[in-house]
Amino acid sequence: MDVKTMIHVIRRILGNYDLHERTGFPRSVPIPNRTAATQIIDDVVAEDMFLEFVSLLMDIERIGLAGRKYKIARLESIVTEILETGYRYDLTARAFVEDSSIRTTRNWGVLKPGDTHNMAFLGVDVAGNSRLVRAHGNEEMTRIYKRLRSMATTCAERRNGRLWSWEGDGGVLAFAFEEHNQRAVLAGIELLSEVFLYNLASCPIRDGVHVRLTIHGGPCEYEENGAELKADTIKTLWEIDSRHGRPDTLVMSHNVFPSLEALIADRFSRLETPGGDRFHYYSIQFRLPQ
């Protein structure tokens, strides 16, 4: 690439990028290609945007830039090294994301503080927690809630979700990137089934533990300190849970429903509130043969 093309590429990531200012070259002096490339790579790394930069180079090599395709030297080797560090390339999102079979971090290894993404959140809340603790004791219920947390985490991570918070009897699971709504819903359905089987087979208390699951989606600004748990999207999630949550039921807000495949959407029933809000719900019903 010539320097002009390099600048065009890097501005897709770093915005209003001034190469002369970064290198210290006078504007009347041409910047050598190698100097320009070295400066750009240094700045990409300093801004922690290397994965995004490599993803962009892959697009340029595969799709082209301004009608021309470029062959990026040793790009395949660079991608291989990235994959070996615990990432996978998502073709739909055209980005590197964390490979949960290798490692699991709260930000998928790619979200940065201040980044805003459309995400889906699955809220888990045990019905009648106070009554259960009084009846069975804090120690017994702590063991049960630890098992519930493990089931919830497994169901989420199986679909590239993450446990974002857990406090005693419930928490929030987050889903980002491609098909985030559908993956959140599938995780919720599976978790309902897991809890149902747990109550039948191994729960140590007679009446079992019954959960209210809620799914809501929307924009969320990621923060490393967990401040995003106070975001409007998650506040709305818990408002839906408190007003419309039902034991052994998954309740989903209407903004999530349209993105589901028909096979999944058909499993849900419609719920309309007196205030005109629309929700959809799914529950497991077990009936013995007559």
Q: In this structure, what CATH number is given to the domain that contains residue 130?
A: 3.30.70.1230
Give the percent of the chain with pLDDT over 70: 98
Q: pLDDT value at position 108? A: 87
Mean of pLDDT values over 238-245: 93
At 177 the pLDDT is: 86
Residues 124 and 10 in one domain: no
Of residues 205 and 225, which shows the higher confidence score?
Answer: 205
Asked whether residue 265 is assigned to any structural domain, the reply reads yes
Last residue within a domain, chosen from 42, 64, 85: 85
In a domain, 223, yes or no: yes
pLDDT of 131 reads 94
- Could you tell me if residue 96 is inside a domain? no
Specify the pLDDT at position 286.
63
21 and 150 part of one domain: no
Say yes or no to pLDDT of 288 above 60.
no
Q: How confident is the model at residue 94 (pLDDT cuts 50, 70, 90)?
A: confident
Say whether both 150 and 211 belong to one domain. yes
For residue 141, give the DSSP letter.
Answer: H
156, 229: one domain: yes
Residue whose pair of structure tokens reads 């998954």 in the numeric block: 250
- 229 and 268 housed in the same domain: yes
Residue 66 shares a structural domain with residue 134:
no
Q: Do 170 and 210 meet the contact criterion of CB atoms below 8 Å apart?
A: no
Q: Give the end of a domain, one of 66, 85, 104.
A: 85
Assign 284 a pLDDT band (cuts: 50, 70, 90).
Answer: confident
> Mean per-residue pLDDT for 241-263?
93
Q: Tell me how far apart the alpha carbons of residues 94 and 79 are, in angstroms, rounded to a whole number.
A: 13
Single pTM value for the model: 0.79
Do 145 and 58 share a structural domain? no
Q: Look at residue 107 and tell me if it is in a domain.
A: no
Average pLDDT over residues 200-206: 92
Closest CA to 229 of 284, 281, 156, 165: 165
| Residue 110 forms part of a structural domain | no
- Give the count of domains, the chain: 2
pLDDT beyond 90 at 100: no
Tell whether 45 and 165 lie within a shared domain.
no
Beta bridge partners of 87: 98
pLDDT at 110: 84
Residue 290 is predicted with a pLDDT of: 58
Helix (H) or strand (E) holding 144: helix 138-157
**238 and 162 in one domain?**
yes
Mean of the pLDDT values across residues 247-268? 93
Mean pLDDT of the chain: 91
Residue 12 belongs to a domain: yes
Please give the pLDDT value at position 101.
78
Please tell me whether residues 129 and 267 are part of one structural domain.
Answer: yes
Q: Give the burial class of 200: count Cβ atoms within 10 A of its Cβ; 0-12 exposed, 13-18 middle, 19 or more buried.
A: exposed
Q: Are 50 and 192 members of one domain? A: no
Kindly report, residue by residue over 138-196, the tens digit of the pLDDT.
Answer: 999 999 999 999 999 999 999 989 999 999 899 999 999 889 999 999 999 999 999 99
pLDDT at 97: 85
- Could you tell me the two tokens for 169? 């009897």
**CA–CA distance, 7 with 23 (Å, rounded to integer):** 13
Could you say which of 85, 107, 140 is where a domain stops? 85
Domain that residue 148 falls in: 116-283
Any idea which of 14-18, 25-29, 102-106 has the lowest mean pLDDT? 102-106
Is 90 domain-assigned?
A: no
Tell me if 290 is assigned to some domain.
Answer: no
Q: Are 71 and 143 in the same domain? A: no
Check residue 252 and give its pLDDT.
Answer: 95
